[in-house]
Amino acid sequence: MTRIAVVGCGAWGRNLIRTCAELNVLGAVVDTDPIAAQREATAWTVPALPLAQALDDPRLDAMVIAAPAPAHAALCRLALDHGKDVLVEKPLASDLAEAEALAAHVARSDRVFMIGHLLRHHPAFEALAAIVARGEIGALRYIAASRLSLGRVRTHENAFLSLSPHDVSMILALADAAPISVEATGGAFVTPGVADEVHADLGFPGGLHAHIAASWLSPFKEQKLVVVGEVGALVFDDVRPWPEKLMRRDQTVTPIEGVPIASGSEPRFVDLLAEPPLTREIRHFVQCCQTRTAPLTGIDEAIRVQRVLEQVQYQLNHCPDQRRT
C-alpha cells in the first residue's frame, strides 16, 4: 500500500492531509513549524517528521508537496533523489528555466511525477471535456475563464500566477495545442509590481481564442469556464451547487436573408457524480504510483502551463498600462 508524507501543513496542506487520511494513504506530515506539524499529526494519528527523516524513511513511498511556492522545485528534487514519487501543488516553479531544469531531473528518474492541477479532476470538467471531445457542440470558437473573489491578496505572486494555472490547464486540454499568441494586461493597486487583476488572451491554431480574467479585488466570487462551439455552449460554474455546476445549451447562428440570426434551446444541467475533485486527484496519484503509469497531469503538462504563465508574466512586465507596477 502506498504511504504518503504531506509536506506543508498550511491551509491547503490541511486539505491534502485530510484527503490522504480519508483514503488511508497518509503516512506522515512535515512542516517547518513543529506546532503546525504536531497538530495535524495528532489529529490524524500519524508521525510529524523532520523533512530529512521523512526523505530517508523507506516506509514512505511518496510525497505530496504543498509548501510555499518558492520551495516547490527544490523539494521536488530532494524527493526524487530519495526515490519518492511526487505530487506537487501549483505552481511548479518560480519561472520557466527552473521548471525545465526540474523536468530534466524528472526525466532522469523512474519516479511518478504529477502536478496538482486540481480542476482537471473535477467531475464537471471531465464531463465538459468529454462532450467537447465527442464533437457535440461542434468546433470550438472561444473559451472564457474567470476566477474572481475578494481576499487572499498575495504579495509575492500576482493574481494570475496565484489563481489561473487551473484555468490555463483546462484551456490547454480543450484546445489540445499550445497557444500561438499570448497577450496580457493587469494592474497593481496593493503591492507595487504585483498585479491584483489580470486579463490574458490566448490565440490558438485554427482561430480558437481564449480569455482569462483573474482578480482578488472583486466584490463577488466567480469561478467559471464558458466554452462556446459552433452548435452549442457549456458553462462550468464551480460556485453553483453540484446539480447546477455544468450547464449545456444548444445554440447556432444562421444567416437568414443575409442577416445572422442567433437561436438556442433552453439551458439544461448535466448530471454529475458529486465527488470532491481533491479525492479524485489523490486517488489518481495513488493509482499511478501503484501501477507505475503516467498521471493525467505529469511533467509535460506542468511545463506547458508554466510556459503560458511565463508569457503572461512577460506581458505584465512590459505592459504600458500597468503604471502602478
**What digits encode the pLDDT tens for the residues 146-176?**
999 998 888 888 999 999 999 999 999 999 9
Q: Which long-range contacts (CB under 8 A, 24 or more apart) does 99-105 make?
A: 99/73, 99/302, 99/303, 99/306, 100/303, 101/73, 102/73, 102/76, 102/77, 102/299, 103/299, 103/300, 103/302, 103/303, 105/76, 105/77, 105/80
Which CATH superfamily includes the segment(s) 4-111? NAD(P)-binding Rossmann-like Domain (3.40.50.720)
Q: Residue 302: which residues within 8 A CB-CB, separation 6 or more?
A: 92, 99, 103, 115, 117
Average pLDDT, integer, range 65-94: 94
Alpha carbon distance 200, 165 (integer Å):
12
Distance, CA of 44 to CA of 24 (rounded, Å): 10
Q: Quick one: which of 23, 26, 22 has its CA closest to 5? A: 26
Tell me the average pLDDT across 91-102. Answer: 91
Give the pairing type, strands 209-215 and 246-256.
unpaired
Provide the pLDDT for residue 280.
Answer: 98
Query: Mean of the pLDDT values across residues 135-141?
Result: 97
The reported pLDDT for the residue numbered 320 is 56
Confidence of residue 253 (pLDDT cuts 50, 70, 90): confident
Mean pLDDT (the chain, rounded): 94
Mean local confidence (pLDDT), 320-324: 50
Grid cell at residue 179: 497557444
For the chain, the structural domain boundaries read 4-111, 120-275+307-317
> Which pLDDT tens digit goes with each residue over 184-197?
999 999 999 999 99
Q: What CATH fold (topology level) applies to the domain 120-275+307-317?
A: Dihydrodipicolinate Reductase; domain 2 (3.30.360)
Tell me what pLDDT residue 325 has. 41
Q: What is the pLDDT of residue 258?
A: 76
Task: Check: CB of residue 212 under 8 Å from CB of residue 164.
Answer: yes
pTM above 0.75, yes or no: yes
Instruction: Identify the pLDDT of residue 179.
Output: 97
The answer to whether 16 and 64 are in contact (CB under 8 A) is yes
The residue to which cell 459552433 is assigned = 230
Model confidence at 256: pLDDT above 90: no
* 72 or 258, greater pLDDT: 72
CA distance 307 to 4: 29
